[in-house]
Amino acid sequence: MKRNLPIEETVRYFNQKIRSGIFLTTTNGNKTNSMTIAWSTIGYVWNKNIVTIYVRPQRYTYEIIKDAEDFTINIPLTNDLDDAIRIFGTKSGRDTNKFEAANINLEPSTVVLSPSIQECEVNIECRIIYRQPMCSGNDAVVETQYPAGDYHEVICGEILAATISD
């Protein structure tokens, strides 16, 4: 059974798990893909609760999310999904059905079109409200993170719903 998750608890779970990897899932038309993310923030901007994600244009997920309206963030709390985190972070949805390879199931979200991951206890549903390609700036960051100039696109999603499985 799922219950609504207050924003304070949502932020706490997000911050506890982001460094070890969580799932970003998006749908556009008949294409759905998930990827592992470890670079993301959650906060309060423009009088809204926001999740900011970073996706490189070379990723298959970007092909889907670039024209999508929403995405979900899926956070495993107690389930041992380390293998799935690895698969979703190292395999491309262009070549591999990652859901099948990792034995992961999708379920309808409560508000957005993009599905949630059933095995993740926390699901955050976001509507995309802003996106912008990154550009060069801090030379130290560019040298260490973007030596090939392959900058991420920054995508901000307003949190419309957050749930937790009991």
C-alpha closest to that of 51 among 158, 161, 144: 158
Q: What CATH number is attached to the domain comprising 87? A: 2.30.110.10
Q: Domain range holding 115?
A: 2-165
| Strand ranges (E), the chain | 2-4, 22-28, 31-37, 40-45, 48-55, 70-75, 106-107, 116-117, 122-133, 153-165
What pLDDT does 90 receive? Answer: 94
Q: By three-state DSSP, how is residue 74 classified?
A: strand
What pLDDT does 166 receive? Answer: 84
Burial 6-25 (b: 16+ CB within 10 A, else e): eeeebbebbeebbeebbbbb
**Structural domains of the chain, count:** 1
Query: How many of the other CB atoms lie within 10 Å of CB of 57?
Result: 12
CA distance 139 to 146: 10
Predicted model pTM = 0.93
Distances, alpha carbon 45 to alpha carbons 42, 48, 68, in Å? 9, 5, 21
DSSP classification of residue 151 = P
What pLDDT does 151 receive? Answer: 77
Q: Tens digit of pLDDT per residue, the chain (166 long)?
A: 899 999 999 999 999 999 999 999 999 999 999 999 998 999 999 999 999 999 999 999 999 999 999 999 999 998 789 999 999 999 999 999 999 999 999 999 999 999 999 999 999 999 999 999 877 676 777 778 777 877 788 999 999 999 999 8
What pLDDT does 138 receive? Answer: 65
